[in-house]
Structure 1
């Protein structure tokens, strides 16, 4: 006698699980322009590689000992491949109780985190629901309340220092669901169908009197520049593509090195436009995003958090196929100075590179930490010092290319200058404790007060100091190691990255300063 009846029972339960919340709820879900949880997993992973764990977990209804109905858990988990590498996927099913915890089996979320932790695999969270304690009505059903606990949060925090953690906000995500999005190395939300908030519109309305729609409270127009998520996608398919690209730069865990890919881009490529990329007029900005592709491998630049702390650009890229972290300025946003937001962004990115052993290329045009009353009210100096501390604590190979300004504490903190200070400067470089133009007024205050023509005196002093601030004067004192033709930047970096990757085996393992969200 075989076990075929039990196998038939198994297949019946699996079939019910694949129906998710039922035809009516699935239809309503898709009418909102959203994919079902199983369609999402199919699009994210390499074809036919998903292996589900816990499909039979859910709420069963029996009559006379026979199963008559089955509502699956609203959380799916399993493993699959992304670009041929294994990952763990944990995904909410909004068609079952709106993704809330009272429609889930709590152990499944924790198991996904444990699987990533113990197997040392990246984890991708597809978040579409609250993930918290459900509605107040559930308390009436239970007959008691409870002291809240974030399920599996010890693993959530530990994973940030062990494996790549990625999260996609794919619906109206609140409370613990929002926290699961934020507790990641990279997060993305989708225009029109994603909203993220600590508490939803109804709670906000009755709690603090703000009457807002979901979009007004937590839509893309709020979080594009809030710093709560890294990137925005136009569609779910684009969000999944961003996830796949992000993971392609990182190792599967901190005990491995970043994956080097074949490159068809000439490491000795020299771009003529680099020679005039920085305007001679110091007051004229330039477009950094036109410069980056001339230095790094073609089509390899993956920018994160463009609209948060916009004066600082952070991205992943490749040099001759080798993944690197990139820090660069955007002088069109506040002159590229270090604001509270850009300090937070810089600190988080350096910690990401440190955690996963990514060498850092720092293209520096840094006028310094933001000044003025508003900057002081925000305590910008403390955030600036935190960012500088992250740079100094990083042990991954780092190289500095000075393309324009290096001034003050902010400029000095762009690299740890107390070790082997690997850096090159373009002829457009200028540096000091503060810019000459502003410093003249302070340094020669008494002379200006006594002058019959302060403007003429200003022009005379500026002309005299113009020659002094030449980068060649600094090079004479070995205050800058090398001044280079900007067109040589890529070949020099492609040579440096070979040496950097020779040093990386000494870096493997957990960082003493792993990334925090």
Structure 2
């Protein structure tokens, strides 16, 4: 006697699992403009590479003779797959099954997905939609008891932050534990109009006296501006594309170094317009993104966090094919002053670079910390000092190009001072403990008060100091390692990126990136 009946039951159960929440729920998902969970997996994974783990898990009911009468699949799917030929772990919430709530989940599946990524050194992809937390109040009645909150698998999520790249895509409403899983990632995004994220959704918030729509409470634009997620995109397809690009710069785990991608962009390529990119008038602003794009390999700039911490732009790029992390002052936002949010954004990029062995390139035009009541309200000095700590704790090679200003405590964040410095400056470099214009009259008060012609004396002192502040004077004393023509920047940084490979060491750091 063979096993035909059991194999038939297997096929029946597989068929039921693949029905997800059933035709009605799938139709509602499509009507909302969102892909179903299996369509998402197919869109992300290389064709034919997804191998599901726990396909038959779910909730069945049985008749008096032990026959299965109904089956509801678990609303969390995972398995191994490939993305652009690289092995990854793919996870996805199924909103068509109880809206992704915990009472239709098997928490062990989530834990095993995280463990698979850690133990087999594969990037982890989370496609999140739903709550994934404690379920509804009705769940408690069905259980017959309450419980002290804990999060199964949170320790695995913390561990993965220091071991493998983790990407979280919010592809629908995300609340509670779902929101926690979103931000426990190295890169996260939401989709405009389709995705919202909240600690608690509108019904719970309304019970507390605040009536909001989902979009008004936690739309993608809100969280892209406050830094809770890294980016927002216009469609699920764009989300999948950004996922692929982000992973392309990182190794599969901290045990490897980022792969070099040999391109066609010559290291010696020069853009002569860079020589005039910084205005002579120090009060004039200029765009930083064209400068970044002119320096890095063509088409390689991948900006992260465009809408928050606006005093800097951050992202990943390549120099002669080598992956690097880029931090660049943005003079068009408060002149490049560091706010608390700017400091947090820099810290996040430094931690990402240090975790995954990416050399850092820092383009500096930093007049210092923001001052005034807003700065004090935001605890700018605490967040700025924390960022300085992250810079000094990092061990990856670091190259600095000072485009214009580097002033005060924030200006000292241009590079760690406790190891070999790859620093170069453009002729427009201007640095010090504080700007000369701001401290001149206070420093020379007695001399100015004694002068017959105060204005003439002030002009004389200013002219003397202008000569002293020349970057060439600093270079004479080896206060800066090199002054270069701006058009030479790419060539110098490509040489840095190649040499930096000698100092990169695979392996885990003392601690992982904090969310």
Normalised by the shorter chain, which TM-score bucket? over 0.9
Counterpart CA distance in 2 for 1:168 and 1:111 is 19
Report if the CA contact (8 A) 1:388-1:414 is conserved.
no
Instruction: Show the counterpart of 2:310.
Output: 310
Deviation at 1:454, TM superposition (A): 4.8
Aligned pairs (5 A) from 1:231-270: 231-270=231-270
Report if the CA contact (8 A) 1:339-1:369 is conserved.
yes
Instruction: Show the counterpart of 1:36.
Output: 36
Counterpart CA distance in 2 for 1:454 and 1:32 is 71
Structure 2: gaps spanning 5 or more residues: none
Please, what TM-score do these two structures have when normalized by structure 2?
0.98
Q: Deviations over 1:55-89 (max 9, x none)?
A: 10001122232222211000000011111101101
Instruction: Show the counterpart of 2:340.
Output: 340
Instruction: Show the counterpart of 2:92.
Output: 91
Aligned pairs (5 A) from 1:310-459: 310-448=310-448, 454-459=454-459
Deviation at 1:324, TM superposition (A): 0.3
Counterpart CA distance in 2 for 1:165 and 1:336 is 30
Q: Deviations over 1:299-332 (max 9, x none)?
A: 1011111111111111100011110000101111
Report if the CA contact (8 A) 2:81-2:90 is conserved.
yes
Instruction: Show the counterpart of 1:509.
Output: 507
Instruction: Show the counterpart of 1:183.
Output: 184
1:474 is paired with a residue whose SS is helix
Aligned positions, number: 514
Deviation at 1:448, TM superposition (A): 4.7
Counterpart CA distance in 2 for 1:176 and 1:305 is 23
Report if the CA contact (8 A) 2:159-2:512 is conserved.
no
Counterpart CA distance in 2 for 1:286 and 1:153 is 44
Counterpart CA distance in 2 for 1:136 and 1:415 is 52
Instruction: Show the counterpart of 2:175.
Output: 174
Q: Deviations over 1:443-495 (max 9, x none)?
A: 12344556676544433322221111111111111111111111111111111
Counterpart CA distance in 1 for 2:418 and 2:95 is 53
Q: Deviations over 1:282-312 (max 9, x none)?
A: 1111111111111100110111111111111
Instruction: Show the counterpart of 1:156.
Output: 157
Aligned pairs (5 A) from 1:57-76: 57-63=57-63, 64-76=65-77
Tell me how large the CA RMSD over aligned residues is: 1.3
Instruction: Show the counterpart of 1:202.
Output: 203
Counterpart CA distance in 1 for 2:451 and 2:215 is 59
Report if the CA contact (8 A) 1:354-1:514 is conserved.
no
Instruction: Show the counterpart of 2:136.
Output: 135
Q: Deviations over 1:178-206 (max 9, x none)?
A: 00000000001000010001011111121
Counterpart CA distance in 2 for 1:366 and 1:7 is 68
Instruction: Show the counterpart of 2:498.
Output: 498
Please, what TM-score do these two structures have when normalized by structure 1?
0.97
Report if the CA contact (8 A) 2:406-2:430 is conserved.
yes
Counterpart CA distance in 2 for 1:486 and 1:87 is 41
Instruction: Show the counterpart of 1:287.
Output: 287
